[in-house]
Amino acid sequence: MSHRPRSLRAKLTLGNVALLAIGILAATAASLMGMQHYLLASVDAQLLHSREALQRSELTMPQIDRLNVIAQVAAQALPTSETVLTPIGGDGRALAFAGVDPSDRQRALASAVRDPAALVGLAAPGDVTVGGAPYRVTATRLGDGTLLVIGTSTESLHAGLTKALHLDLAVGVGLLALLAAISLIEAQRRLRPLKDMVETASAIADGDLSRRVSARCNEVSEVEQLRLALNAMLHQVETAFETREYAASQLRHFIADASHELRTPLSAIRGYLQLYDRGMLSDPADRTRALARMTAEAERMAHLVEELLTLARLDQRPVLRLQPVDLAGLVRDAAEDLRAQQPGRPVSVRLAPRAGADGAPDRLGADWGHLPAVAGGGSGGPGPVAVVGDEAALRQVVGNLLANVRAHTPAEAAVSITLSREVTPAVRTPGPGEVYGEFYGGATAMAPAPHACAQRAVLRIRDEGPGMSAEDAARIFDRFFRAPAESGPVGAVSGAGLGMAIVRGMVEAHQGSVTVETAPGEGLCVTVRLPVHDESDLSSSSNGSSSTGWTDQVRWSKPVSTLKE
């Protein structure tokens, strides 16, 4: 026969009741034993007192026969009505006392005491049973040698102890029932958080990941610590589940977008090949144009595949070849490339000035973000802004940002490139996927926050193009996101929408951050912040010193996080 397992509350209650019952029984037994010992000691003291009184009197039996002597001795020798004096003859039988034949109790007492002489002089009385009643007895010899047995009944004493036992048991049972009820209620109250945990776990198993254990208790108790730990774990589980769901959704979109982007050039190439196969490109000029179009589509597809591979590497925590990199040099090279590609576009470059000839610091004032109006102003001219990073990756960051300007702004729209340093206090590093920032006159989309750093290199690229709406700016770092056609120049070929996603991934790989500030009709400003490196290390690296060890390959320890829409 199977038994239903007891609940924890029942087990705790039964355990408490068992311990309380043992305690009550032990206390009752100790109390009764102590009371019995005390009462028997009192009876023994009275018997010994009577024996000593008779011994001191040196009376003989003839003298005791006299009533006046009995009256004098009785007050001292017979303390209670339960005390029996029995003279014993040589044959062990009770003798007449005070001229009166022995009573039944005296005869029974004489019969019960097998060796009265052995009781004489004992330090403590002995126990005998007379007519079914317990007695404490002792003995002494009178002045004429007569053996006198003195006995006291303890029946009333034992009856009192029995009543006390019954009373203690009744009180103990009542107290035990009361304590059991209190223990049950207290156990139920204490275990309420555990019950809530079970209900919460069941709800989460059914799919409600937002449930938390709400029942509170003493902050220092183990149950409260378990509740807090469980809630923290549930929060992590919910966050991980949401992140997984979001990543799965993004992956589905990514696969769909990638397949669509790859299908377009493949369809174009296949179309031209079908035309050629059917003999519809007999004109050499048509064949030349078709070949040029197929080549362009193949290059477009190769570029798309390369960008996809770059993003895949970023997702797998890229291996960066870290070394001190002069960011100012990268900016100058990219600006010159932009001028060469679009000679009619106004391009201004402002770099952080070099320290003065006397060793004074850069003269940029308190706000390192505000630069002199003249490019490279300052007594020392523009100087290097060194960051620790992968030079090829950083060149791609700057190149993608300027390529974004070429693709989405009119050819005559001015571009301002600013490179400076700023000092920032140490801040908490946000967790993966956290987004911070504010909207300034439009929208600001920001990648996850970087680690705390005392100084940062700040690269700002601002254009005077059509700008973007807040909704589009919030998605600018999403893969395959492309701005509406009206935001770009007439006739411009739109890319695959991976450039800004690559920028964000590479900047994050360098422990930096990238933000976008824009509003419709007000242009767009992209700000990249990267940790700076000491200029002396850049000089030593350029002199061929390898003591810094910056040329080692280092795997970025922080995974690339995904910015939610």
Residues sharing a CB contact under 8 Å with residue 403, sequence separation 6 or more, in sequence order: 495, 499
pLDDT at 376: 40
Residue type, 444: T
| pLDDT of 362 strictly over 50 | no
Distance CA 162, CA 159 (A): 5
On the question of pLDDT at 525 being above 90, the answer is yes
What does the pLDDT average to over 377-400?
Answer: 73
Residue 380 has pLDDT above 60, yes or no: no
Whether 86 and 102 have beta carbons less than 8 Å apart is answered as: yes
pLDDT, average across residues 356-373: 34
Residues 446-466: what's their mean pLDDT? 71
The answer to whether the beta carbons of residues 442 and 519 sit under 8 Å apart is yes
Encode pLDDT of 146-163 as tens digits: 788 888 888 888 888 888
Q: What pLDDT is recorded for position 253? A: 72
pLDDT for 461: 93
On the CB side of 467, CA atoms within 13 Å amount to 15
Which has the minimum average pLDDT: 50-64, 132-146, 224-238, 324-338? Answer: 50-64
Distances (CA, A) of 308 to 398, 474, 504: 18, 22, 14
**220-264 per-position pLDDT tens digit:** 577 778 888 888 888 898 888 888 888 788 778 777 767 777 777
Torsion of CA 200, 204, 205, 207, to 10 degrees: 150
Per the CB < 8 A criterion, the answer to whether 509 and 430 are in contact is: no
Contact 333, 351 (CB under 8 A): no
pLDDT of residue 444: 37
pLDDT at 67: 42
Q: Encode 400-420: b = buried (16+ Cβ within 10 Å), e = exposed.
A: bbbbbbbbbbeeebebbbbbb
In angstroms, the CA 116 to CA 520 distance is 126
Question: What is the Cα–Cα distance from 199 to 210, expressed in whole angstroms?
Answer: 13
Closest by CA to 159, choosing from 15, 302, 35, 75, is 35
Q: What is the pLDDT of residue 453?
A: 45
Spell out the alpha helix ranges (H) of 191-218.
Answer: 192-205
Interval 320-326 mean pLDDT: 84
Number of H helices, E strands in the chain: 13, 14
- Residue 141 and residue 55: Cα distance in Å, rounded? 7
In the three-class reduction of DSSP (H, G, I as helix; E, B as strand; rest coil), residue 312 is classed as helix
Tell me the pLDDT tens digit for each residue of 15-36: 888 888 888 888 888 888 888 7
Does residue 391 carry a pLDDT above 80?
Answer: yes
**CB half-sphere exposure, 167, CA atoms < 13 A:** 8
How confident is the model at residue 416, as a pLDDT? 92
For the chain, give the mean pLDDT. Answer: 73
pLDDT of residue 534: 56
Give residue 97's pLDDT: 66
| Mean pLDDT of the region 507-522 | 88
Question: pLDDT band for position 124 (50/70/90)?
Answer: confident
Average pLDDT over every residue of 194-204: 82
Percent of the chain with pLDDT over 70: 70
Higher pLDDT, 75 or 476: 476
Is 80 exceeded by the pLDDT of residue 128?
yes
**pLDDT tops 70 at residue 84:** yes
**pLDDT category, 424, cuts 50, 70, 90?**
low
Mean pLDDT of 189-215: 80
Are 481 and 445 in contact by the 8 Å Cβ rule? The answer is no
Q: Which of 48-57, 459-468, 487-496 has the lowest mean pLDDT?
A: 487-496
Contacts of 307 (CB under 8 A, 6+ apart): 496, 498, 499, 502
Which of the two residues, 548 and 517, has the higher pLDDT score? Answer: 517
Four-residue CA torsion sign, 115, 116, 122, 124? positive
- Distance CA(235)–CA(204), nearest Å, equals 11
Distance between CA 340 and CA 417 in Å, rounded? 16
What number of CA atoms fall less than 13 Å from residue 248's CA on the CB side? 6
pLDDT at 544 over 60: no
The residue that leads in pLDDT, 251 or 376, is 251
Tell me, what's the pLDDT at 494? 55
Contacts of 417 (CB under 8 A, 6+ apart): 331, 334, 335, 347, 348, 349, 350, 459, 460, 461
For residue 80, pLDDT over 70 is answered with: no
Query: Which residues fall within 8 angstroms of residue 47, CB to CB, at 6 or more apart?
Result: 83, 125, 136, 137, 138, 150, 151, 152
How confident is the model at residue 437, as a pLDDT? Answer: 34
Mean pLDDT of 398-408: 88
Q: What is the pLDDT of residues 529-538, one digit of tens each?
A: 998 865 444 4
Q: For residue 73, what pLDDT is reported?
A: 55
Residues 6+ apart with CB under 8 A from 203: 211
C-alpha dihedral, 51 to 52 to 58 to 59, nearest 10°: -30
- Distance (Å, whole) CA 563 – CA 565: 7
Q: Which two tokens stand for residue 378?
A: 């300052």
Coil, strand or helix at 25: helix
Mean pLDDT, residues 314-343: 84
Average pLDDT over residues 411-439: 63
Instruction: Tell whether the model's pLDDT for residue 85 goes beyond 70.
Output: yes
CA pair distance 342, 141, nearest whole angstrom: 143
Q: How confident is the model at residue 3 (pLDDT cuts 50, 70, 90)?
A: low
For residue 269, is pLDDT > 80? yes
Give the bridge partners for 416, in sequence order: 348, 462
How would you class 296 by CB atoms within 10 Å of its CB: exposed for 0-12, middle for 13-18, buried for 19 or more?
middle
Residue 369: the pLDDT is 34
Q: How far is CA 279 from CA 292, 293, 296, 298, in A?
A: 18, 17, 22, 22
Q: Is residue 499 a contact partner of residue 488, using CB atoms and an 8 Å limit?
A: no
